């Protein structure tokens, strides 16, 4: 198995493990109330960000550029996640 395939498997497993956190939390508290659509959107965001980071690692030769681009990708992921969760910017997509 090549390194690229191992990293893809790691991305998929990371997304699944991260999504288990709210799934398990929903079993113990009423404060976490995710619907199926929430899990689908979260999976798409996490998997998409992981794939973009993987693409950057493969295609960008200089490590300082890699770090900068991946930092921007993760910042965008965080901003989208926060907007969907609490409505930081007040868009129609906010979770409030």
Q: How many distinct structural domains can be found in the chain?
A: 1
Report yes or no on 16 lying in a domain: yes
What's the mean pLDDT in 76-82? 93
Measured CA to CA, the distance from residue 70 to residue 7 in angstroms comes to: 15
The pLDDT of residue 27: 94
Token pair of 76 as six digits: 């965008």
Residue 96 lies in a domain: no
Is 70 exposed, middle or buried, given 0-12, 13-18 or 19+ CB atoms closer than 10 A? middle
pLDDT in tens, 18-74: 999 999 999 999 998 899 999 999 999 999 999 999 999 999 999 999 999 999 999
- Please tell me the predicted confidence (pLDDT) of residue 96: 60
Q: Determine the structural domain holding residue 63 and report its residue range.
A: 3-86
The reply to whether 40 falls in a domain is yes
- Report pTM: 0.87
Residues near 56 by Cβ (< 8 Å), separated by ≥ 6? Answer: 66, 69, 70, 73
């Amino acid at each position: 198995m090549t390194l690229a395939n191992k990293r893809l498997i790691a991305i998929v497993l990371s997304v699944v493990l991260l999504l288990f956190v709210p799934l398990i939390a929903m079993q113990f508290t009423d404060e976490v109330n995710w619907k199926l659509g929430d899990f689908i959107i979260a999976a798409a965001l996490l998997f998409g960000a992981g794939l973009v980071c993987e693409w950057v690692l493969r295609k960008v030769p200089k490590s300082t550029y890699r770090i900068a681009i991946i930092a921007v990708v993760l910042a965008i992921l965080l901003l989208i996640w926060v907007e969907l969760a609490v409505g930081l910017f007040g868009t129609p997509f906010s979770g409030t």
